[in-house]
Structure 1
Amino acid sequence: MNEHLNSGQPSLKKILERYQQSKPGTSLEEYEFLLNRNPLLEKIFIGADCAVAIFDASQTNYLYISYKLEQLLGYSANVYHQGGLCFTLSKIHPDDVMSLLGILEKEISYIADLVPAQRLEYRSSYDYRIQKSNGNYIRVLQRNLVLNLDTADNMLHVLVVLTDITHLKKDHTKILHIINKQDTGFAYLYNLTDQRIIKDTFLSKREKEILKLLGKGYSSKEVADELFISIHTVETHRRNMLEKTNIKDTSCLVHFAILAGF
């Protein structure tokens, strides 16, 4: 396992224990079409460039690993099934371990504070660097969706979708973006300097409006006309969004925003 995970990281053991508070599910029939590696679904995942897994919180392990995930990182499904979450964490870039553990801890606490119905509406995304089987690191965006709860209404199974975004981001900042009906569109930002997570609205309402129109292919002038603001204001917001997200350019920003659910 990654030495950083054995060097007294205070939150790793706590995270594993908190996940394992969930009680194992009694039936996996609803996932049978996935567990049997449905050929059509596997082809769809590959075509959509989606690396998919189903995480079992009670076992801190994976019920399902898609072919695409095997292709993306180069590890067989058996490796994930045998090593579980600890194997995945052992492949995280050493400089990203602390921030990712902080994000996981924040996510678990956030979900625990929701009422059961809200937990099933929870979605999140965050990114990190992970090592492939050939030794190279790539940056992935991980999106999570709670699939079901255990008998005590704790998070049990989580759909995990990984996308390679190595070409999109410029630096190693971390953003935990959370979406649910009660608290939509805010983020936790990991500050690299003092190594702490700060809650932030991240993108303003106006910035999201502009981003949505840019995603539809609008030019700055068309955005300005649509929102009754000046082109200068649009360009200022574009620059601000690039600075906040540390994305290379506007086209990459739109792509990232769509993936992350902004």
Structure 2
Amino acid sequence: MMETKQQMDKLILKKAGHIWKEIGQHKKPEELQIEIEIYKKMLNLFQVGDYCYFVFSPPELRMEHINESVTELLGYTKEEFVFETFLKIIHPDDIQQYLNFEATITQFWQSLPPEKVFKYKTRYDFRIRCKDGTIKRLLQQVAVIQSDDDGAVLRTFVIFTDITDLKQSNKMVLSIMGLEGEPSYIDIQPVQALVPHKSILSKREIEIFRLLVDECQSADIAETLGISPHTVATHRKNIFKKTGTNSVLQLVKLGLEKGWI
């Protein structure tokens, strides 16, 4: 039984390595200062509750700049939390879909012109086994922070957020979110043609929706968007009506279930 499990682990590692090396097209990234890029990307990534982050190099299958919060979130030290360990602790019922999602994301990135690689983030959720044996559901969000002139992805910025208490179903949802006006693709079926998502919210409502789930107050939203608090209140009312929710917490839960955030 142990030998069979080890063979399965090796198979999963080989399959995942093939997918991620396709992203980087077997090119090794050059060393670079990435701290500024990390903070820029964090502005576009949803965070609520406990989270950790790191940089991933697809060509080298290596995790870099691992945030110390990984220990608080998952129980593993930065030294223990390496690529091989990560694949082994994904829930066995989720690992195949995880790989399917990664293959779909790889296909999507490779279809983009080089200048658009940075204009998307990917998100999906899965279950993972912590060092103490408990199971958590993580929301994984990924944004590209380095590519070469041909658009090959050399480094990505990854955030894991604990959504165990926010999402009850075990359905894994993959979405690719457009930034800077690019289209979004919601609840994607893995490895198939992608159809742009037609949102039930207006462009302005989407902006306010994203600020609301980031726990911004109405006054802050008004200042950020350059509109009046009354206009923000009207948009909030419309957002709740269109989504069938009554509070920001319900909005966050719905967004996670539907793959909107």
TM more than 0.5 = yes
Q: CA separation in 2, counterparts of 1:33 and 1:183?
A: 23
Q: Show structure 1 runs of 5+ residues with no match.
A: 35-46, 240-248
Q: Which has the higher strand share?
A: 1
User: What residue is the counterpart of 1:187 in the other structure?
Assistant: 186
Q: CA separation in 1, counterparts of 2:87 and 2:183?
A: 28
**TM superposition shift of 1:178:** 1.2
Work out the number of aligned pairs and report it: 227
User: What residue is the counterpart of 1:42 in the other structure?
Assistant: none
CA deviation vs aligned residue, 1:66-122 (integer Å, no higher than 9, x gap): 111122111111123xx42x3212111111111111110000110111111100222
User: What residue is the counterpart of 2:141 in the other structure?
Assistant: 143
Q: CA separation in 1, counterparts of 2:254 and 2:64?
A: 28
Higher RCO by CA contacts (8 Å cutoff, separation 6 or greater):
2
Matched, 1:206 2:205: no
User: What residue is the counterpart of 2:28 in the other structure?
Assistant: 24
CA deviation vs aligned residue, 1:21-76 (integer Å, no higher than 9, x gap): 24112223x14799xxxxxxxxxxxx984311000111111111111112211111
Matches within 5 A, 1:1-262: 5-6=9-10, 11-12=15-16, 14-19=18-23, 21-28=25-32, 30-31=33-34, 49-80=50-81, 83-84=82-83, 86-150=84-148, 152-180=150-178, 181=180, 183-190=182-189, 199=194, 204-206=199-201, 209=205, 212=209, 215=212, 226=234, 237-238=243-244, 251-254=249-252, 257=255, 262=261
Q: CA separation in 2, counterparts of 1:26 and 1:13?
A: 20
Percent identical among aligned pairs is 22
**TM superposition shift of 1:12:** 3.4
Residue 53 of structure 2 contacts residue 157 of structure 2 at CA under 8 Å; is this kept in 1? yes
Q: CA separation in 2, counterparts of 1:72 and 1:99?
A: 23
CA RMSD in angstroms comes to: 4.2
Q: CA separation in 1, counterparts of 2:210 and 2:18?
A: 42
Q: CA separation in 1, counterparts of 2:73 and 2:128?
A: 11
Residue 126 of structure 1 contacts residue 175 of structure 1 at CA under 8 Å; is this kept in 2? yes
Q: CA separation in 2, counterparts of 1:177 and 1:15?
A: 18
TM-score, normalised relative to structure 2: 0.69
CA deviation vs aligned residue, 1:175-229 (integer Å, no higher than 9, x gap): 2221224642222435xxxx876856567333884883994789xxx99x947x9
**TM superposition shift of 1:165:** 0.2
Structure 1 255/207 Cα, relative in aligned 2: closer, same or farther at 3 Å? farther
Q: Which range is displaced more, 90-99 or 200-209?
A: 200-209
TM-score, normalised relative to structure 1: 0.68
